[in-house]
A and B are shown apart, each in its own frame.
Chain A
Amino acid sequence: MLNEFRQTQLLYRVCSLLIKEEQDNHEVFNQIAALLCQELGVIGSSIWLATNQGGVGLQRLAFFQAREELSYSLQNLDFQAADLVNVQGNGLILHNIHNDENFHEVRRDDLWVTAYPLKNKSGLIGVFCIWDNCYKHTHQEREDFVSLIQKVGSELTNGLYNYKHYSLADHKRIKEELETARRIQFDLMPRELPFLQGTSIGVRTIPANEVGGDYLDIFLTNSKHLGIAIGDVMGKGIPAALWMAMTKVAMRTAAKDYNQPHIAVSQVNSVLFPDLSRQGIFVTLFYALYDLDKKTLLFSNAGHLPPLLYRSKTRKIEPLQLKGAYIGGVENKIYQISGVRLEKGDIVLFYTDGLIEALNSDQKQFGIEKVAELLNSNALYDASQIIDRLIVDLGQFTGDYYQTDDITLAVLKVES
């Protein structure tokens, strides 16, 4: 057993590790478990945190085994000991597991466990276990050992409380911030669609996570043309969402300043290129301008999937093909322009890759053919009904299989 000086030294080291402990870093508990084994000369130690997920349970924060080769699994025995303390609420002090039916894996008469409940005012917050195969023979040895375990346990209780408090607070804060980000991003998507005589418009976006990288904007330009911009930021989550917001601002500004889509897209690229290329990120962008009087749709494309044009006269699908490198790919690039004249009944579907790459449980993709087929079979409906039907079919196809990518679509239909 350690003398008083070494006991104090051990406690000091445990305390200083706990003070240094970063708010959500549980690595420090592994260091303490190893330190205890080393200083007490025991074969194993562990630290458990009480959790409230799915009832009261325990999560092992740290485990250290001093001897590698054992004929039994100390980790399993350790789980049984901690669980017993959790269920019964009492500690096991220098408990010989021999003939104890709770430890069904092994019958050994030289294995003692001290499983000490870490409690504060609110109840059990953890369990701390020490495994030893050398029994404390004298009364004094046992007294000293229990006293040391209690002191270490008291420090660990404070440490665990801080760890749990900060990590939960952090988790809650991040969740709240993500929820705010989700609301902000939702507001960035078109909310009130412009009412246009003779044309119907529908939009829908299904984010895979709280925030995503799909971008869609629909607005009336100064020259009263309908602007439709759709894009996708490489990657997912918060970084993609930040770039989605920046793309929206750059696109809106360019659309205000330039009334030709290819000049506007070139301008977006000039503005975003330096930061995108430095960060190794890219954005796809398809921008179309619809002249309601002449029924012409002019467009430019920076690496986005070509929208699908359904021709009511021929009942055929024509992708709006136009090549162009993604935004952030080529500095000072001048993008190309193309255009089509639309007729009554024609439908244009703008979409992101999440739509055609949506998977079902057989790992099959929804696919462009299926989308084209649905456009054809629902062509008599207006734009928002077409979207509803596409979404219903997509839902039937994917079932409850989790989608990893955002899905965004917009439909423009010439009604008269």
Chain B
Amino acid sequence: MPLEIESRIEKDMMIQKMSGVLDISTVELLHNSINYLCEITKVIYDFDNIKFIDSTGVGGIASVIRECQKNKVTIKINNISPEVFEVLDILGLPEIFGEETFEVKQI
């Protein structure tokens, strides 16, 4: 299953709606999604339709968060399904990058 990213910019905020699978075959798209950070102060990744994530996908998220933090851009990952969040939580991403960065989907 591929990964689709629907990107839109509202003032100084970039919203990236993600659908599909974030794994070794699609992670490049995630990396490319933050190529244009100038004049952006906040990036929101909407994970509502992310069904599966593997370790390379997690590595991709970590690298995107680091890139944003380096450029002083606030980043949030919203609407994470409990299953996907469990993977991120076991790996310790909230501990590494701050719990406020991740928001689990309310069901």
Contacts and interface: CB of A to CB of B under 8 A. Distances in A.
Contacts of B96: 325-326, 329-330
B94 to A, nearest CB: 9
Contact of A323 (B56, B59, B89): B89
B9 interface: no
Given A236-B24, A280-B59, A323 B95 contact: yes
B91 A326 contact: yes
Contacts of B24: 235-236, 404
Interface stretch (A53-61, A112-120, A298-306, A383-391): A298-306
Interface in A216-236: 232-236
Interface in A290-341: 302-306, 323-326, 329-330
A280 B63 CA distance: 6
A148 interface: no
Contacts of A306: 90
Nearest to B55: A234
Contacts of A303: 90-92
Contact of A330 (B59, B63, B89, B95): B95
Contact of A235 (B55, B62, B92): B55
A29 interface: no
A148 to B, nearest CB: 45
Contacts of A281: 59
Contacts of A330: 92, 95-96
B59 A282 contact: yes
B39 to A, nearest CB: 25
Nearest to B88: A303
Nearest to A325: B92
Nearest to A324: B92
Given A280-B62, A281-B59, A329 B90 contact: no
A236 B56 CA distance: 8
Interface residues of A, number: 24
A412 B66 CA distance: 39
Size class of the contact patch on chain B: 10 to 19
Contacts of A232: 55
Given A234-B55, A234-B56, A325 B91 contact: yes
Nearest to B87: A353
A323 B63 contact: no
Interface in B23-56: 24, 54-56
B55 A329 contact: no
A284 interface: yes
A234 B90 contact: no
B59 A234 contact: yes
B50 to A, nearest CB: 15
B58 interface: yes
B44 to A, nearest CB: 22
Interface in B66-107: 66, 89-93, 95-96
A303 B90 CA distance: 5
Contacts of A346: none
A323 B59 CA distance: 18
A405 interface: yes
A302 B93 CA distance: 11
A404 B54 CA distance: 11
A323 B66 CA distance: 21
A235 B59 contact: yes
Nearest to B96: A329
Lowest 5 A-B CB distances belong to which pairs? Answer: A325-B92, A303-B91, A329-B96, A234-B59, A234-B55
Interface of B: 24, 54-56, 58-59, 62-63, 66, 89-93, 95-96
Interface of A: 232-236, 280-282, 284, 302-306, 323-326, 329-330, 353, 357, 404-405
Given A303-B90, A303-B92, A329-B62, 9 more contacts: A234-B56, A235-B24, A236-B24, A282-B91, A324-B92, A325-B92, A325-B93, A326-B91, A326-B96
